[in-house]
Structure 1
Amino acid sequence: MANEQANDRYEALSRKLLEGTITQEEREELAQWLNDDDGQVLDLPADFVASREAHEARMWKNIAKATQPRTLQRRIRVISAAAAVLLVAVVGYKYLLPSSPTPATQLLANDHLPAGNKAVLTLGNGEEVVLDNMALGSHLDQAVKEDSGRLTYLYASADVAQINSLSTPRGGRFNVTLPDGTNVWLNAASKLTFPTVFNGKERIVELQGQAYFDVTQDANRPFKVKVGTVNVHVLGTSFDIMAYPDEQQIKTTLVTGSVQVQSAKEHTLLHPAQQAVADVTAGTLTVQPANLDKTLAWKNGLFIFNNADLASIVREISRWYDVEFINLAGDSKELYGGSISRKKNLSDVLQLLSAYGSHQFKVEGRKVTILPK
């Protein structure tokens, strides 16, 4: 138990260093823990740190289970200067130590910035407003763009509600406060449809893509999110829904409160730190423990991969950087684990993946080709 608490402590400090919120005292504590085998304190670049034991233990717990000889559990050295807590690739049950990554000069020649505060608001009359072009403090009918960049709808008592939709492009994200005070954070390539006034006995919105909801409590008017064939019913709570068209599953993850998730054939009640997984093809609905750090990583400014295959990583990266991947390397059995800042450019992420995996990446415009090394 003591070791687990220590791992959690230093992983938390690692994240604070990555996010730039670490204090000088915490920085010194983390540096002391990361002493190398000769007792020499490692340098800690402002945007990189590795929590070795915590992530190594997690990798082996999830991948090796009880089937891999303990003698293979070697320590992983801190050897990458990219912005990651730790990123390793696993083929079968063998760690791939870093090899020659894709040359940085090649990646930088066609680099791409991370997702920014971008969205398009479609009004009830069909008019489209590009929100990233609106000046802070600008008013738009019942909404105002605050200094934080958030679009906030003002409470209105009108009898007739207009239906608005807020869409983020690939390479965009946005935050909106709905007329009832509910806060919604939209991930890249997502769309939220909602009324300008919540009339009736329910507050109903529709979602495509991914969003985090912090719902204002109103016992007389439950909040409902429609996601394809799945409905999520809540009163006042916070949760995440991931439902991209190119994903096989619709995942609802509860952070606080309680929600009821209903598919075409089944329904279930979620408790905090649980995740409902609706399989789009099979029509099944299952409940599993949630990894809140991983689920909320996008909202907290991180990519977190937990035994993720390259295909799923590519889908997430493509939405965030608005690029298209072309795979010329064939299927890969590699699994990746670790954390990378979403504030980094595409070249940083690709170079790290290349260093710890068995692929090279070639960037031409908005197309990224995956090549074998």
Structure 2
Amino acid sequence: MIPPATKPTAKNPAKYTPRDPLKNPVNQRLPLRTRLAIALGRVVSRLLRLFGRGATTLPGRISLMVDPGLLSHLTAGRQVFLVTGTNGKTTTVRIICTLLEQNGIQITTNTSGANLDTGLATTLITAQAAIRAADRRGAGNAFVFEIDEAYFGKIADQLNPSVAVVTNFFRDQLDRYGELRTTRNLIEKGIAKIDSDIVLNADDSLCASLGRYRPEQASYFAMAPEMLTEQPARSSDEASYCTYCGERYLYNGRSYGHLGRFHCPQCGFTHPEPDLTVQVMPTDADQKEQGQQLLFRSVDGAQAQGFLPIPGIHNAYNAAAAVLALQTAGYSLPALASQLAAASPAFGRMERFPAEGREVCLLLVKNPVGMDRALEYVTA
């Protein structure tokens, strides 16, 4: 089915009033079952840690057995950011957390990488003491969660998100997800259930298509036109054909893989107008090793530069996703751009550490496009 002809626009005020992290529901009385679930989960967590176990999912699994509505009860009224997609989830979450912390907001996030419902439940129940303490102090408090693609459709609505971010779609874990469109459809189910702003990658046709039915709530980030190059189509390219009519896309330039300014010559589905673009500015070789200078341009004409201490064009996309998510929540572009310098790589993501008198850079690779990005960085 070809979607409505109305094209997503860059001006898309959300229907809801953004939740203020400084106005948390401190006096909210949790249901008895929820309080019992929290207490039991915390006991299980302490016991597991006593025996040297990680305690990242089992406490949550047991708590959810006691109260299946636990996630909804603990996130109600909070400022919640969700991040999903194939690549970049962990780094995007880390950048969002850094930017919020730079603005004085206390963060609750699943740093362990446990991104299923059980891991999220564990994160929330073990953080309750810190959350309540922040509430009593009147401090800001926000939740930032990385969500597995397959679980996003199942639990997104339970987490009461303020903003949901979808980074991209690439071939990954075929034994779990099958084809790319299967992954896209799993996430679409989650988006259909939530009433929040959604932040999407305009350069990814599969990702951009998620906003077709929600133009008033969708915001898009993209690579600046100056960063795109003419690249011939390859048989290995992913998402080469239109989501709606099956015709092969034409491109006015690509960044890498299937990301770029696409349009369908048959049904007219095309790259949406981005709300925020990012451009990697020229830097000397030494600075390039340490990160990248980014220029952000907003649809309202504002622009700002900031240094991201994480190299790689794919991380420029992640930074744009994080910045746009916070712009959507009411933060200013110049402040966000300047605060990027406080970010640091997540484990294995361009992480640097000394080893035997040398500096080592660790690059985590999970799928073919990740390997492509890693090899390009190494050979640059």
Name the TM tier (shorter chain): under 0.3
Instruction: Identify, as 1 or 2, the structure richer in helix.
Output: 2
* TM-score where L is the length of structure 1: 0.25
Bigger radius of gyration among the two = 1
More strand per residue: 1 or 2?
1
TM-score, normalised by the number of residues in structure 2: 0.24
